[in-house]
């Protein structure tokens, strides 16, 4: 049984369906409580991010066709030093307890990576690493990650078989090394997640990849959607209508999956779920979606490049400062770029008119890649806002 809730008057929130789950109805009081929590989260995002991502190096021995970082085998001579990394981690800890993600390139290309991981854990940060599936990712490397106290290791899986995955990653053997490393982590009790970038190359393999995620007992399937930056090609991206089809498939998978699903640079998946009116049969998955509400480039998220540039995300390569000369917290809280990205009233086009703009907000990185304006509408969203459909 479902009925329409009163329209929420605050701009940017859609009407909320009242759903009877058999135990209790989601009442208007519950809706107001959820809205208060959302507003509190948004206010918290003004002072501190939920996610801090540090690209510790741009070096990587893979040659991925979609690589955001345009990685190459050699390390950059101006990478942050170990001591600079320690100072950065202390600044991150001063935010509170954000999730600290070590990424690359391939973090294992840095000889001091385990020192950095250990320091992050010592400071009390929840720490994640995203190594590349190369010969550097040995059983001993996985064990060292586990011994450092890392909360989770994330590995990329971009095809359901050797041919498709290795073709995507550009190196033979990457598929089998990924699966072997997931298995070794499971044996050691190290929590894992799987990252997948959806493109035209693997569009037909989503369900098979989801099966592999489940078989290897990963906690999270993080599904990335293409932003045409770095080595990514526009021809590999999906059409806006195909995004909606993928959203439907992800939702169907989530109803029975033993892992959580989140999307990156597909903020409109949240809009899809809100409009579907279909509550998740998986309470854990519903919780995972709620934790993502409102997060966007520069909004609950900050990215530090291998040379210290402070950016809204790795897919929106605009620097608002550099940790070598600027305070990370000061840049995140007060830089005009970050302030603009957190002000949904400044969004243009359909995103600015959309009743889901606080829930979603569109991909700011994709808008920038497509138009040069990070406040423009997300070009890969088919939804027509209610305001735009209302006759003048």
| Per-residue pLDDT, 73 | 75
Q: Give me the mean pLDDT over the 141-170 stretch.
A: 93
Of 118 and 294, the structure prediction assigns the larger pLDDT to: 118
What share of the chain in percent tops pLDDT 90? 72
pLDDT at 285: 60
**pLDDT for the residue numbered 387:** 72
Mean pLDDT of 22-37: 44
pLDDT at 20 over 60: no
Higher pLDDT, 320 or 169: 320
In angstroms, how far is CA 273 from the centroid of its own chain?
17
Predicted confidence at residue 55, as pLDDT, reads 97
Q: How is residue 296 annotated by DSSP?
A: B
Taking CA atoms, 218 is separated from 100, 186, 194, 339, in Å, by 19, 8, 7, 35
Work out the pLDDT band at 165, boundaries 50, 70, 90: confident
Residue 79: pLDDT band by 50, 70, 90 thresholds?
very high
Supply the pLDDT for residue 327.
Answer: 98
Residue 48 near residue 95, CB atoms below 8 Å: yes
How sure is the predictor about 380, in pLDDT bands with cuts at 50, 70 and 90? very high
Asked if residue 16 has pLDDT above 50, the reply is no
- What is the spatial distance between Cα 300 and Cα 209, in angstroms, rounded to a whole number? 29
At 85-123, the pLDDT tens digits run 999 999 999 999 999 999 999 999 999 999 999 999 999
Q: What's residue 29's pLDDT?
A: 43
130: region left, alpha or beta (phi > 0 left; psi from -120 to 50 alpha): beta
Question: In this predicted model, which residue has the larger pLDDT, 163 or 280?
Answer: 163
DSSP output for 120-168: HHHTT-EEEE---SSTT--HHHHHHHHHTT-SEEEEE---SSHHHHHHH
381 CA to centre of own chain: 18
Tens digit of each residue's pLDDT (9 = 90 or more) over 299-337:
999 999 999 999 999 999 999 999 999 999 999 999 999
What is the rounded average pLDDT for all residues in the chain? 86
Q: At what angle do helices 283-292 and 268-276 cross, to 10 degrees?
A: 130
How is the chain split into domains, by residue range? 45-334
On the question of pLDDT at 286 being above 70, the answer is: no
Q: What confidence tens digit (pLDDT) does each residue in 255-274 have? A: 999 999 999 999 999 999 98
Tell me which residue of 139, 117, 125, 126 sits closest to 186, measured CA to CA: 139
Determine what percent of the chain is predicted with pLDDT higher than 70: 80
For 339, the token pair is: 């302030």
Q: How far apart are CA 265 and CA 58, in angstroms?
A: 21
Quickly state the pLDDT bin for 30 (edges 50, 70, 90).
very low
What pLDDT shows up at residue 280? 56
Write the DSSP assignment of 340-361 as a string of letters: HHT-GGG--HHHHH-TTTTT--
On whether the CB atoms of residues 263 and 269 are closer than 8 A, the answer is yes
pLDDT band of 288, cuts 50, 70, 90: low
**Bridge partners, 261 (sequence order):** 221
Q: What is the CATH T-level fold of the domain 45-334, as seen in this structure?
A: TIM Barrel (3.20.20)
pLDDT at residue 47, as a whole number: 95
Residue 63 has pLDDT above 80, yes or no: no
Q: Is the pLDDT of residue 5 over 80?
A: no
Measured CA distances, 382 to 28, 173, 192, 240, 354 (Å): 29, 38, 33, 6, 12
Band (pLDDT 50/70/90 cuts) for residue 174 is very high
């Amino acid at each position: 049984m479902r009925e329409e809730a009163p329209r929420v008057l605050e701009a940017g929130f859609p009407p909320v369906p009242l759903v009877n789950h058999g135990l209790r109805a989601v009442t208007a009081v519950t809706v107001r409580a959820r809205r208060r929590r959302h507003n509190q989260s948004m206010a918290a995002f003004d002072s501190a991010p939920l996610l801090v991502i540090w690209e510790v190096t741009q070096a990587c021995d893979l040659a991925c066709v979609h690589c955001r970082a345009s990685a190459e085998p050699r390390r950059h001579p101006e990478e942050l030093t170990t001591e600079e990394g320690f100072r950065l981690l202390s600044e991150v800890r001063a935010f509170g307890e954000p999730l600290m993600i070590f990424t690359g390139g391939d973090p294992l290309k840095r000889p001091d990576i385990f020192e950095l991981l250990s320091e992050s854990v010592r400071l009390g940060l929840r720490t994640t690493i995203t190594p590349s599936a190369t010969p550097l990712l040995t059983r001993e490397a996985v064990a060292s990650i586990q011994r450092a106290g890392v909360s989770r290791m994330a590995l990329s899986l971009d095809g359901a078989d050797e041919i498709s995955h290795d073709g995507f990653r550009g190196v033979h053997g990457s598929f089998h090394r990924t699966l072997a490393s997931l298995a070794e982590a499971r044996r050691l009790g190290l929590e894992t997640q799987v990252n997948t970038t959806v493109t035209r190359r693997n569009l037909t393999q989503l369900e098979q990849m989801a099966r592999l995620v489940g078989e290897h007992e990963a906690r999270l399937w993080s599904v990335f959607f293409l932003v045409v930056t770095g080595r990514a090609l526009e021809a590999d991206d999906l059409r806006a209508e195909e995004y909606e089809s993928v959203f439907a498939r992800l939702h169907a998978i989530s109803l029975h999956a033993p892992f959580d699903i989140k999307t990156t640079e597909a903020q409109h998946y949240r809009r899809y779920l809100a409009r579907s009116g279909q509550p998740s049969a998986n309470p854990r998955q519903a919780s995972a979606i709620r934790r993502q509400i409102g997060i966007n480039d520069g909004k609950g998220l900050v990215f530090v490049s291998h040379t210290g540039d402070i950016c809204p995300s790795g897919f929106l390569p605009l620097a608002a400062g550099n940790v070598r000369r600027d305070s990370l917290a000061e840049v995140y809280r007060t830089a005009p770029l970050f302030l603009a990205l957190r002000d949904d009233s400044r969004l243009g086009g359909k995103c600015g008119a959309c009743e889901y703009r606080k829930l979603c907000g569109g991909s700011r990185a994709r808008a920038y890649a497509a138009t040069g304006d990070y406040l423009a509408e997300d070009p890969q969203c088919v939804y027509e806002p209610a305001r735009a459909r209302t006759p003048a």
